Structure 1
Amino acid sequence: MSQSGSQRTTLVYLHGFNSSPESYKAQVLRAYLETSDYQCNYLIPRLSYSPAQVACSLSELIEQQLMLGPVALIGSSLGGYYAIYFAEKYGLKAALINPAVKPYTLLTDYLGENKNLYSHERYTLTEGHMNELLAMDVETLSHPERLFLLTQTADQTLNYREAVLKLKGSPSWIESGGTHEFSAFTRVIPAIMSFLDIKKRQ
């Protein structure tokens, strides 16, 4: 018997490159949800520097959660790129915050040894990783209306116009100024939750 009417959505937050579940937006969103009446579960998986490993681990996580109920995604920067891939793969809605849409070219500047800003893990980024990213590229969005673009024009890391072009068929929230972190992020959380069909308790 279906219980879809009572099932809580699982909201999965995908952090960016060299980031972690301890990142600013991930924790701001956690605190917001803990003090609001939104009915959802919230997961922030720690993403590997290996795109192939991300593809494997997140597929497993999402498939497990879909057995329990609806799943929605929020992706920031590189996490936005991953969110596009998984939204396409599983037919999910996703909110994309200053998303990277061509990380396989952007991250070539980081080839070689890196250190995660939060965990301090050291790793080597290779051309092979860029090929793994390219393999996850969604060239044509089958349902752009399932993706919500949130971007600020003064993003110092990414050219926001690339995301606007990629997601030209998607609803969008485009602000002048701002930062790659997305200034005053809390302001847009209600719009994100509304788009993802996550409702408050009655």
Structure 2
Amino acid sequence: MRPAIVYLHGFNSSPRSQKANELKAWLPDLNPDIDLLVPELGFDPRRAYQRACDTLTSVAGRPLGLIGSSLGGYYATALSQQFGLRAALINPAIYPYELLHDYLGPQHNPYTGERYTLTTDHMEALKALEPGPIKRPENLFLLLQTGDETLDYREALRRHPHSPCWIQAGGDHRFQNFEVVVPAILSFLGMART
């Protein structure tokens, strides 16, 4: 049965993001048997989480893994706990309901062209998805760069002290030299070509 990876993009991003496109380009060489699914999450946290759940349900019964970037890393953490899946978290947002509070008001998604208003209700919805104490820290693989200009990488280390991690000096929020860590992600997800 073909394994599947569900990639969850970040805030004001989309399936057309650079990392999603890079994964689509690299996976056939690393393991052509993997199906990559990248749902359009949108800005509403409830809808985003439901879309992620629906995507996982669509490939239920197959070997599954998650990759989440930034806000997608927050969703991937909650989904990992809910479904018992392994998840690679790339510069993950740990408390997005605090981080995004400064972004309340009119927003524009440069990938989709969508204009919307980010509200305190959205922050409450994000907080409601907080998975609480992590029961299976070994299911989370942190990929962090110390030069992340949006998130303090140390916050992820404090939140997930018992999870395996890959820390690179420098870099940025986008995660520079992403291709270097993709084989390690596949290995962690149990999807490296044998």
Mark yes or no: TM-score above 0.5.
yes
Separation of aligned partners in 1, 2:119 and 2:75: 18
Please show how residues 35-184 of structure 1 align to structure 2 within 5 Å: 35-67=29-61, 69-184=62-177
**Contact conserved, 2:143 with 2:166, CA < 8 A, in 1?**
yes
Give the corresponding residue for 1:11: 5
Q: Which amino acid aligns with 1:164?
A: L
**Contact conserved, 1:39 with 1:198, CA < 8 A, in 2?**
no
Q: Which amino acid aligns with 2:99?
A: L
Separation of aligned partners in 2, 1:176 and 1:60: 36
Which runs of no fewer than 5 residues in structure 1 stay unpaired? 1-6
Equivalent position SS for 2:94: coil
User: Percent same amino acid at aligned positions?
Assistant: 48
Q: Which amino acid aligns with 1:24?
A: Q
Separation of aligned partners in 2, 1:38 and 1:145: 26
**Contact conserved, 1:20 with 1:47, CA < 8 A, in 2?**
yes
1:150-199 Cα distance to aligned partner (Å, 9 max, x none): 00011000011110111111000011111101110000000000000003
Q: Decide which of 6, 18, 29 is 2:23's aligned counterpart.
A: 29
- Equivalent pairs counted in the alignment come to 194
* Aligned-residue RMSD, C-alpha: 1.1
Q: Which amino acid aligns with 2:14?
A: S
Q: Decide which of 169, 187, 196 is 2:189's aligned counterpart.
A: 196
TM-score of the aligned structures, taking structure 1 as reference length: 0.93
Which runs of no fewer than 5 residues in structure 2 stay unpaired? none
